[in-house]
Chain A
């Protein structure tokens, strides 16, 4: 009898945990949002100026997404990144690559998003 109750508890726990996968499309769209935001900043001619000077705070100040917190990291060719760690437990990340602005300087710009 008790083992049956224990099985029911574990079963409900597994259902609750795996039920989280139902949120997958939202996760995908949030990661896509991060990449869309970075692309639109590049299309507006805003992204590269901040990126090549490694001004992650300046770039972050150009971003406003209702309902989401965000952090920008700029990573150079050596793999060194500048910018704050994302301040949340469930974070979506989008990356955007550039070859440089007026001189060759390859960089990866990462935008982390989390729900406020």
Chain B
């Protein structure tokens, strides 16, 4: 008889109160979710502009450099400072592209005549030491010379008494390219890598 008295009524009351608290807690879940979503959309316009530069821009930049490297060499020739200008342009591009999260590495070779000799100046900025092998062939035969280019250095090598037209084969690391040039015209070979995350573009210029 006494079992249905004030004690059991108290238990019922607690159950009702607990159910109420649980319902309140559940409403906080919904309120929290709505708040998170609302804050995101309210705060969105307050952030700095979102600037998109997808990796699709790498081919554009590569094409741009392909046409601009010979221009940098020509301006350098005009100002009698070809090595300085190409070195400066290399560092300029490295710095500018690092702002786009692109790692730019390169190697360039400038071929110029000194009377009947052929001077080859190389700049190595590949992020590693390389040795360039140069095989110059003219009407009287071929000569092979090597040009060691530790990373970040410029050096040169001279081929004596080269014919007025020559073929050159340039090889280093896993690259090998050939060109045929007149001795008395300044010529450029440049190899570069553009690297952003998993996206890599390798290209070269012969001009």
| A interface residues, Cβ below 8 angstroms from B | 1-3, 5-7, 9-10, 13, 17, 24, 27-32, 35-36, 39, 75, 77, 79, 85-86, 88-100, 103-104, 106, 108, 112
- Residues from chain B with Cβ under 8 Å of A79 in the complex: 95, 99
- Chain B residue numbers with a CB within 8 Å of A2 are 23, 25-27, 29-30
> How far does the alpha carbon of A116 sit from the alpha carbon of B14 in the complex, in Å?
61
The bracket for how many chain B residues form the interface is 35 or more
Contact (Cβ within 8 A) A89 B49: yes
- A75 and B85 CA atoms in complex are apart in Å by 18
CB-CB under 8 A from B60, the residues of chain A are 32, 35-36, 39, 94
For B160, what are the chain A residues with a Cβ–Cβ distance below 8 Å? none
Interface residues of B in 72-125 (CB under 8 A from A): 72, 75-76, 79, 81, 85, 88-89, 92-93, 95-96, 99-100
Cβ of B51 within 8 Å of any chain A Cβ, yes or no, is yes
Label chain B's interface by main secondary structure.
Answer: helix
Find out whether the CB atom of B51 lies under 8 angstroms from the CB atom of A97: no
Task: Pick from B5-13, B34-42, B198-206 the stretch touching chain A.
Answer: B34-42
Query: B128 contacts the other chain (Cβ, under 8 Å)?
Result: no
The residues of B that contact A3 with a CB separation of less than 8 Å are 26, 29
Most buried by A among B23, B63, B93, B96: B96
Given A2-B30, A6-B29, A35-B60, do A27 and B54 touch, yes or no (CB 8 Å)? yes
